[in-house]
Amino acid sequence: RMRLQISTVNQNFIISSTTLALQTIQTEHRIKTLVYERNERIMHPRKPLHIVRGSCHFYGTSYQVTTANAKKFLANRKKTPIVLAFEHGIPIVLIPTHAASSLLNTWICLHGIKNIKAANEVETIIQLTNNQTITVFASEASISRQIALAYLLKREYTERFQQFSGV
């Protein structure tokens, strides 16, 4: 099992295809984010939602627009996965485990999931593609549902992108 050191990062971190997950970390004084990247873990000084909003802005959209588009396609469900951007024609899909502003929320990138298994009735262990594991406070059924919705969203956006690009 790979052990990755945790480094710190400046506030301009952008989610990309090398990002696997954003986990909320609550310290005595503030809320931070533990970012799981393919080859490192990074402690970011801001909340996960701040990183998601900043990344949306970087890619030329807003969190409100990405959420509204996803809700429109997925029939206005709660905890909606979002498509952050396209990288090389492939959508970067983010899956929330809870409401985006919740302290329990972890954002998992669809492309970062290798496997999931129940830790118990209310927690799920997610194996990331770099073989690290992350435990989230959500049932396996809930995570499975979120992954299924994310795949539907990815397929819809991929089809749209292919039509738009003439592929």
**Chain segment 66-98, per-residue pLDDT in tens:** 999 999 999 877 889 999 988 877 889 999 999
The pLDDT score that the predictor gives to residue 160 is: 80
**Chain segment 19-29, per-residue pLDDT in tens:** 999 999 998 88
Residues 110-128: what's their mean pLDDT? 97
**Chain segment 28-65, per-residue pLDDT in tens:** 889 999 999 999 999 999 999 999 999 999 999 999 99
Instruction: Say whether pLDDT at 1 is over 60.
Output: no
Length of the chain: 167
Residue 101, Cβ density class (10 Å: 0-12 exposed, 13-18 middle, ≥19 buried): exposed
- Helices H, strands E: what count in the chain? 3, 10
Q: For residues 48 and 107, is the Cβ–Cβ distance under 8 A?
A: yes
The pLDDT score that the predictor gives to residue 7 is: 66
The pLDDT score that the predictor gives to residue 9 is: 63
The pLDDT score that the predictor gives to residue 138 is: 96
Residue 158 — very low, low, confident or very high, per pLDDT cuts 50/70/90? confident
**Stronger pLDDT, 152 or 77, i.e. the higher one:** 152
The pLDDT score that the predictor gives to residue 28 is: 84
**Among 123, 153, 147, which Cα is nearest to 135's?**
123
